[in-house]
Amino acid sequence: MHDSAQPSILVVDDEQGILDTLRILLKNEGFDVVTAQGGKAGLEQIKAAAPDIVLTDIKMPGVTGIEILAAVKEQDPETPVILMTAQASLQSAIQAVNEGAFHYVQKPFSNDEIVALCRRAGEVRRLKAENKQLKQEIRRRERSGLEKPLGKARSFLDVLRLAEQVAPTESTVLIQGESGTGKEVMARYIHELSARSDGPFLSINCGALPESLLESELFGHVKGSFTGAVRDKQGLFAAARGGTFFLDEIGEMSPATQVKLLRVLQEREAIPVGGTEAIPVDVRVVAATNRDLEEDIKRGRFRTDLYYRLNVIAMHLPPLRDRRDDIEILVEAFLARIASESGEPPKRLDAEAFNAVMAYDWPGNVRELENALERAGVLTKGETIGLAAMPAKISEPRAQPLVAERPHLNPTLDVIEQAYITWVLQSEGGNKTRAAEVLGIDPSTLYRKLSRYDGGAKVGTGTEA
C-alpha cells in the first residue's frame, strides 16, 4: 500500500468531464489520483498503477465496471472497489457489493458523499494491510524462535551465514551432508527468511518412492494416465506455488525423472503424467543429498546439466563429530523441547551420561542425538538422566585396541601419547577424573586430547567418578 497519508485512487469512467471533476476533488482531499477513460484503459491502469482504491462507473461501453471489479480482485483481493451507478444499474451494483465490491454510490452524488466513501475505503485498506503485516511478523518471530538451526562451531556458523545471505534471493540451493545433519531444518530456515515465507514449504524424499509414483507426486497426473489414476491429481510443484519445494535425497532420483526435473527448472513449467498441457511453476527449489554427486556424474548416475542447475548455491553441513562444541547446545535444546511437549519439568544428563554423549561419534548426527535423548527421557522417571538410560552403543562403547595390528615402525610422539592415555583410561575403567589424576593433567586437558584423537574419544565409559 502507498503512504497512508496519501492513498492512491484509480478513477475509471467513460466521460472525461466526470474524470476531471473527480480528479480535482479527490486531489484536493489528499488522494494521489490516477484516471482512466473507459474500461479498457482502466484494466491497463490497474496493472500499471496498482492503486489502493478503485472508483469506477459500472456501465461503460466495452469493459464494464463489473469486469473492472473482477480484474482488481484477481490482482489484489484486498483492494476496495467503489462502484458509481445510475438508477438503471442499481441492481447490478447491489449484486456486485454482495460479490466483493466495497460499496456503491448512486448518481448524482454529492462531493461530501464521494469523499467520505473514499476515505472510509482507504482506512479499511490501511487497517487490513497493517493487520496482515502484523500477522506476518508474528509468524516470522514464532518460526525464527523454533526453526533457527543451533550451533556455534565455526564450520556450522559459516553455513548458517551463507543461508542467511542467499535466503532473500530466488537462487536454487543444493545442501550436501551426511544423513541426519539437519538438511531439512536448514532448508526450512532458508524458506522462513525468504520473500516466499508466507507461501507453502513442501518436501519430498526422492529416494522413498518408486519412479512412477515419484513422478506423479512431483508433476501430478491426469485421470486414466495409469492404472489407479481415477481422477486428476495436482503435483507438488503446483501445490508449492509461491513457496519453497525441498527435494531431499535428490541423488536417488532415476535418470528419466532427472530429465523431467531439468525441464521444470529450465522452462519453469511442468507437464502432468499422461497430460499434454504444461502447468506454470512458481517455486524456489532447495535440494539435498548425502551422496557425492560429482562422483555419481562420473559413473553416469547423475546428469551434469541437472547438477549445475541445482548447484547454484552449494552448502555443506558438517557432521556432528566435527562440531563437538555444538553437542552441549543441542542437548539443552532437545531436552527443553521434549519437556515442553510432555508438560514435565526439563530433565538433565548426569556427569556420567553427559561425558558419554560428548565422547560418542554420532554417526547418525543430530537426528541420532535427538532420538537418543528422547528415548532416555522416556525411560527416566526423575529429572536426572543417567548413563543406563542411554542406548548401549553410547553407554558401552567398544574400547579401541592399545596397539594396532600393524603398528608404525617409528611411532610419533602423538601416537605414543594416545596409546598411553588409552591404556590409562582402560585401566581406570573409563573414569576420566581418575585417569587425569594418574596422568597428572587437568580433566579439561584430557578431554581436549581425547577430542583430538580420531578414536580416542570413544574409549571407556566416560565416567567422572
Report the CATH number at residue 413.
1.10.10.60
Q: Which helix (H) or strand (E) element contains residue 164?
A: helix 154-166
Q: Is 224 exposed, middle or buried (0-12, 13-18, 19+ CB in 10 A)?
A: exposed
Which domain does 74 fall in, by range? 8-129
CATH number for the domain harbouring residue 292? 3.40.50.300
Q: Measure the CA dihedral 74/77/82/83, to 10°.
A: 30
436 falls within a domain: yes
Q: In what order do the strands lie in the sheet with 284-289?
A: 201-205, 244-248, 284-289, 173-176, 313-316
Q: Is the pLDDT of residue 386 over 70?
A: yes
175 falls within a domain: yes
139 falls within a domain: no
Q: Are residues 211 and 345 in the same domain?
A: no
137 falls within a domain: no
Binning pLDDT at 50, 70 and 90, where does residue 1 land? low
Q: Are residues 426 and 287 in the same domain?
A: no
462 falls within a domain: yes
Q: What is the pLDDT of residues 92-139, one digit of tens each?
A: 878 888 878 899 888 888 999 999 999 999 888 888 877 777 666 655
Lowest mean pLDDT among 27-36, 80-89, 454-463: 454-463
Q: Are residues 262 and 386 in the same domain?
A: no
CATH number for the domain harbouring residue 347? 1.10.8.60
Q: Are residues 415 and 312 in the same domain?
A: no
Binning pLDDT at 50, 70 and 90, where does residue 229 land? low
Q: Are residues 155 and 241 in the same domain?
A: yes
135 falls within a domain: no
141 falls within a domain: no
Q: Are residues 158 and 253 in the same domain?
A: yes
The domain boundary, picked from 318, 348, 372, lies at: 318
Q: Are residues 385 and 401 in the same domain?
A: no
Q: What is the pLDDT of residues 315-328, one digit of tens each?
A: 999 999 999 889 99
CATH number for the domain harbouring residue 54? 3.40.50.2300
Q: Are residues 185 and 105 in the same domain?
A: no
Half-sphere exposure at residue 103, Cβ-oriented, CA atoms within 13 angstroms: 14
115 is written with which cell numbers?
Answer: 469523499
Q: Are residues 270 and 180 in the same domain?
A: yes
Question: How many domains are there within the chain?
Answer: 4
Lowest mean pLDDT among 32-36, 143-147, 423-427: 143-147
Bigger pLDDT: 392 vs 414:
392
Q: What is the pLDDT of residues 436-463, one digit of tens each?
A: 878 878 777 777 777 776 443 344 434 4
Q: Is the pLDDT of residue 398 over 80?
A: no
Q: Is the pLDDT of residue 12 over 90?
A: yes
Q: Is the pLDDT of residue 3 over 50?
A: no
The domain boundary, picked from 341, 362, 395, lies at: 395
Q: What is the pLDDT of residues 354-369, one digit of tens each?
A: 999 998 989 999 999 9
Residue 407, pLDDT score: 53
Distance CA 357, CA 91 (A): 75
Mean pLDDT, rounded, for 64-77: 90
Q: Are residues 160 and 282 in the same domain?
A: yes
Q: What is the pLDDT of residues 262-318, one digit of tens each?
A: 999 999 988 888 877 888 889 999 999 999 999 999 999 999 999 999 999 999 999
Which amino acid, 62?
A: G
353 falls within a domain: yes
Q: Are residues 287 and 380 in the same domain?
A: no
Residue 453, pLDDT score: 65
Binning pLDDT at 50, 70 and 90, where does residue 234 land? confident
Q: Are residues 301 and 354 in the same domain?
A: no
Which of 322, 324, 358 lies closest to 177 in space, CA to CA?
Answer: 322
